[in-house]
Amino acid sequence: MLIKNKATDPDAGINGQVRYSLANFNHLFRITSNGSIYTSVKLNREKKDYYELIVEATDGAVDARRTTLTLGIKVLDIDDNSPVFTNASYTVSIPENMPLGTVFLRLEAKDVDLGSNITFGIRTQEARQFFSLNKFTGELSLLKSLDFESFAGTDATFTFLVEAFDMGGTMPPGLATVTVRIRFTMQYAFMDQVLFEL
């Protein structure tokens, strides 16, 4: 129950019976004969956080008298959304000789609930030895030097999962995929060629 109304009609008998009805938002709220108002569906603050209900009270007379009352209903927030990354997947290309600590990607996530406090993390365990994700800023940087020669083939890529938590919330974290391509630098290709000619 949300609220109880009381309208009194001093007339006796059937003329004095007050009937209530809602003039708007009938699909969301209902009012009982004694003037109690209930929700009939689950409200969603993220869609609409305020309603102005118009309650009509009518007496039972043939020539019915009517009075209306406007009720402001404010919908309070609960934590019912997970953080969502701005991209479901991120792809970035970095040179193999990039200095350690270089930030090469900045992740962003949003949570539509009020007062959310988002922190980031790398979910894929094996990626944590190569990359560092600042839990507050979402900045991804290089933790360990990437030696191109240690990768088999020419397409050296890391793919891993990142997560965004709402620290004060109870919803599961939001997830995204990060793919880091390691670029073989032209400088090395050139040196190899020169050495070969010698």
Site for Ca ion, rule CB under 5 A: 44, 46, 77, 79-81, 111, 113, 116, 166, 169, 171
Q: How far is the CB of 128 from Ca ion (least distance, A)?
A: 25
Query: Does an H or E element contain 50, and which?
Result: strand 50-59
Closest approach of Ca ion to the CB of residue 109, in Å:
10
What is the sign of the dihedral through the CA atoms of 106, 110, 114 and 118? negative
The residue with its CB nearest to Ca ion is: 113
Residue 36 belongs to what H/E stretch? strand 36-39
Q: How far does CA 51 lie from the centroid of its chain?
A: 23
Closer Cβ to Ca ion, 79 or 96, answer by number: 79
Residue 11 or 108: the one with the smaller Cβ distance to Ca ion is 108
Q: How far is the CB of 119 from Ca ion (least distance, A)?
A: 12
In terms of CB distance, is 163 or 166 closer to Ca ion?
A: 166
Cα–Cα dist 109/175, whole Å: 10
Question: DSSP code of 46?
Answer: T
Give the residue with the Cβ less far from Ca ion, 18 or 109.
109
CB of 77 to Ca ion, least distance (A): 5
Alpha-carbon dihedral sign for residues 137, 140, 144, 145:
negative
